[in-house]
Amino acid sequence: MLDIRVLAHLCNEKGLQLKCLGFDEEARDRTSQTEVNISRNEISNNIQPGSVIVTDNISVLKSTDSQGFNYIRGHGPFDIVNLDLCGSISCINFPDNHQVLHNLCEYQINNSREKWLLFLTTRAEYEQVNVAHLPHYLKCLKNNSESNSLFGQRLVEMSNWDFTRYNESVNVDEVLVGCRDREFVKLFAAGFGKWLIQLFYDTNNNWLVEMLDSCWYRVENNQTPVSFPNMLSLAFLFSPVNVPINDKSGLSLKNPEPHINEQSLAMGILDQTERFRDIDQEVDADPHLWSSLVEENAILLKTARYQVDLYPQWAEEKRIRFDAN
């Protein structure tokens, strides 16, 4: 619940109270549940009483008839939807993550006309994704590439993937043989973003979906200066578009239809993907930033009753030093 502590503190500084609904599968066992209860009590003054941590995996939201989705109805709609995944949004073990997101988006747009944010943290290297999902991403990207030559050209330059060779009968491994590591992570990000746009554009043209400034960093075996970033932290803004009404009697005039340029939104996905912030490099390049983050993290961990005496030493050992390369 460290993230909730941080958000609750930030809200408190602005005179706000955080209301949250979380899904935490690890809290099922007795030790974890006790920890959750203690942490919840410690931050109770800064969060609204109705906040809930559900001891279940977020995959229960794949069904809108589930008890988990009843929690969504009881606590939403939300200003922020945060999917902080240890694995990938495209995951073999949890193949229904896209349906979960589909259901959450559908709930949001049917229950609110306010702007809202989606934060997604996801593994993105080729070895971590469900290959069965990739044709859906590639089809979305290919459609834009064929209708917009500039999009296709930039996509090829960014990812080293030749969309002209792709069709649904081609083996994905073969067509992506030249697109691995850093290039694949970018292709994955662009494909997911384009899938998310078409999810709204094909069925509901009353919402704008825009990728905001996002970042990537290295986890697990990629935590070396020569490795590529394999974890994405993506942000999307969903904005309602005014819907004109039509007076068929002719007594009043219809206002202009809103114009949503899907190709422009798709190009925005490429713009943001090409300028991902490399968090590891930024932190390593700024000694003051590094020291500040270590200090702030130690304070945060201490408030959650962790032993922090050796934390600075541990953090330094885990630090990725790019200047030594």
pLDDT tens readout for residues 139-162: 999 999 999 999 999 999 999 888
Measure Cα distances from 153 to 11, 158, 173, 211 in Å. 43, 9, 22, 20
Q: Are 47 and 20 in contact (CB under 8 A)?
A: yes
Predicted confidence band at 27 (pLDDT cuts at 50, 70, 90)?
low
**DSSP character at residue 186:** H
Predicted confidence band at 29 (pLDDT cuts at 50, 70, 90)?
low
The whole-angstrom distance between residue 76's C-alpha and the CA centroid of its chain comes to 19
Question: Do 211 and 124 fall within a single domain?
Answer: yes
Q: Quote the pLDDT of residue 324.
A: 53
pTM, two decimals, is 0.92
- Mean pLDDT confidence for 167-172: 82
Structural domain contains residue 132:
yes
Q: Quote the pLDDT of residue 47.
A: 82
292, two tokens: 């500040």
pLDDT above 90: percentage of residues in the chain: 67
Q: Are 121 and 85 in contact (CB under 8 A)?
A: yes
- Please report, in angstroms and rounded to a whole number, the separation of the first and last CA atoms in the chain: 36
What pLDDT digit, counting tens, does each position of 187-233 carry? 999 999 999 999 988 776 689 999 999 999 999 999 999 999 999 99
What pLDDT digit, counting tens, does each position of 97-120 carry? 999 999 999 999 999 999 999 999
Rg from Cα positions in the chain: 22
Beta strand 52-54 with 21-23 is parallel
How many domains in the chain? 2
Q: Quote the pLDDT of residue 32.
A: 66
Structural domain contains residue 30:
no
Predicted confidence band at 71 (pLDDT cuts at 50, 70, 90)?
very high
Q: Quote the pLDDT of residue 303.
A: 87
Structural domain contains residue 40:
no
Structural domain contains residue 35:
no
DSSP 70-103: HHHHHH-S-SEEEEE-SS-SS-SSSTTHHHHHHH
Over 90: is that where the pLDDT of 55 sits?
no
Question: Do 96 and 139 fall within a single domain?
Answer: yes
Sole residue written with tokens 């590891």: 280
Question: Do 299 and 237 fall within a single domain?
Answer: no
What pLDDT digit, counting tens, does each position of 244-298 carry? 888 999 999 998 887 788 999 999 999 999 999 999 999 999 999 999 999 999 9
Question: Do 69 and 119 fall within a single domain?
Answer: yes
The whole-angstrom distance between residue 9's C-alpha and the CA centroid of its chain comes to 22
List of residues 6+ apart from 245 with CB closer than 8 A? 254
- Mean pLDDT confidence for 54-79: 95
DSSP 257-325: PP---HHHHHHHHHHHHHT-EEHHHHHHH-HHHHHHHHHHHHHHHHHTT---TTHHHHHHHH---STT-
**What residues form DSSP beta bridges with 234?**
120
Average pLDDT, the chain: 90
Over 90: is that where the pLDDT of 25 sits?
no
The count of other CB atoms within 10 Å of the CB of residue 236 is 22
Structural domain contains residue 79:
yes
Q: Are 180 and 188 in contact (CB under 8 A)?
A: no
Rounded CA gap, 123 and 140, in Å?
Answer: 20
DSSP 127-158: GGS-GGGHHHHHHHHHHHHHH-HHHHHHHHHH
Q: Which domain holds residue 251?
A: 57-285
Residues 241, 247, 250, 253, Cα dihedral to 10° = -20
Q: Quote the pLDDT of residue 204.
A: 64
Over 80: is that where the pLDDT of 323 sits?
no
Q: Quote the pLDDT of residue 186.
A: 97
Question: Do 279 and 291 fall within a single domain?
Answer: no
Q: Quote the pLDDT of residue 110.
A: 93
